Structure 1
């Protein structure tokens, strides 16, 4: 992660969860962890799937504190970034995506869907069988729908079992709104045929 992005995340999270991320004095008068140390601890747990007690060796934060930091960090990220990034597709977004697709020669296309398979080096031994396929190594799968400007508006992470892209698509929530009749009505024409979904 670039330093500028990390600092942006730290500032946003500490603004939303400022009471928890402030640097305070402990009972002995010694200064506690800084907001950067707390966010680093949370990101290490998320990025490397490390246990909360292993944070103590790297950042000198106790296990119980590391768990609380992770909880407040996730809440802060949700509060800070939901409005712009972590939100459902709106009608305006849909119209823009369809317009961009039509301009590029793909009428009716909202984005490109793909699955990415990552080797899970630190997969817990008890879960390895669930996440192992033909490769005999544990992999974790990310399904993403992204638009031409690389805005990721759908992500489905963590399907287990022997999966190919079709299996992942069947487990994914990408078409749930369509099946439940909640999808926005959109009109577009392909090869002279008009569609509304």
Structure 2
């Protein structure tokens, strides 16, 4: 029942539960709030935190062994969700050209064991991946020099930072590796499959 309450409360108005569960809007909001507190207390210390130097080495080892991609921190991408209960006053700010309805955008990085170590919801009018990246705190610790050591060595060359797999819209930076366009080269085809 808690999962259904949290889902309905996020995407529908709080009073949507008063008929089916006989709950007031306040009870629905309070239940969702308590649910979030429990999730953060249970899973926060392990899954809702930034990686340490030891965690980064484990990510490198996993991606190197399983995918053959040493130095990869994870995949960075944005997910676009339809916002059915968007207030009329905000619909213009949360609607963009290729979507004809309001959306909420989440930028995230998660590991293979569902450890979400970066999540950022884009603000109004920043509805594409690049705009969200410019507002995102993902590289703040790198910029201010407090990021954990993420250097790695590949074929005798030391790299200061790990990299993320991204799609073609992201800028050309050393921390982003994009997939290649269509090619008959078997090595490129293998990389795209990975």
Q: Does the pair score TM above 0.5?
A: yes
Aligned pair 1:74/2:36, yes or no?
yes
Aligned pair 1:159/2:123, yes or no?
yes
Using the size of structure 2 for normalisation, the TM-score is 0.71
Query: Post-superposition shift, 1:51?
Result: 2.3
2:63 to 101, 115, 119: 101
1:47-74 Cα distance to aligned partner (Å, 9 max, x none): x2x2222221120012232232222222
Aligned pair 1:114/2:61, yes or no?
no
Query: Post-superposition shift, 1:174?
Result: 1.1
Q: Is the 8 A contact 2:122 2:132 kept in 1?
A: no
Query: For 1:120 and 1:66, how far apart are their aligned partners in 2?
Result: 18
Query: For 2:114 and 2:45, how far apart are their aligned partners in 1?
Result: 17
Match in the other structure for 2:27: 65
Match in the other structure for 2:111: 147
Query: For 2:138 and 2:57, how far apart are their aligned partners in 1?
Result: 18
Using the size of structure 1 for normalisation, the TM-score is 0.70
Q: Is the 8 A contact 1:39 1:69 kept in 2?
A: no
Greater CA radius of gyration, 1 or 2? 1
Gap change, CA 1:179 and 1:151, over 3 Å in 2:
same
In structure 2, the gaps of 5 or more residues are: 162-194
What does 1:1-197 align with in structure 2 at a 5 Å threshold?
A: 36=1, 40-46=4-10, 48=11, 50-103=12-65, 104-135=67-98, 136-148=100-112, 151-161=115-125, 163-190=127-154, 192-197=156-161
Q: Is the 8 A contact 2:77 2:108 kept in 1?
A: yes
Match in the other structure for 1:4: none
Higher relative contact order (CA 8 A, sep 6+): 2
Gap change, CA 1:149 and 1:163, over 3 Å in 2:
same
What is the count of residue pairs matched by the alignment? 159
Q: Is the 8 A contact 1:41 1:59 kept in 2?
A: no
Gap change, CA 1:55 and 1:148, over 3 Å in 2:
closer
Query: Post-superposition shift, 1:148?
Result: 4.6
Gap change, CA 1:79 and 1:132, over 3 Å in 2:
same
In structure 1, the gaps of 5 or more residues are: 1-35
Q: Structure 1 residues 118-127 or 141-150, which shifts more?
A: 141-150
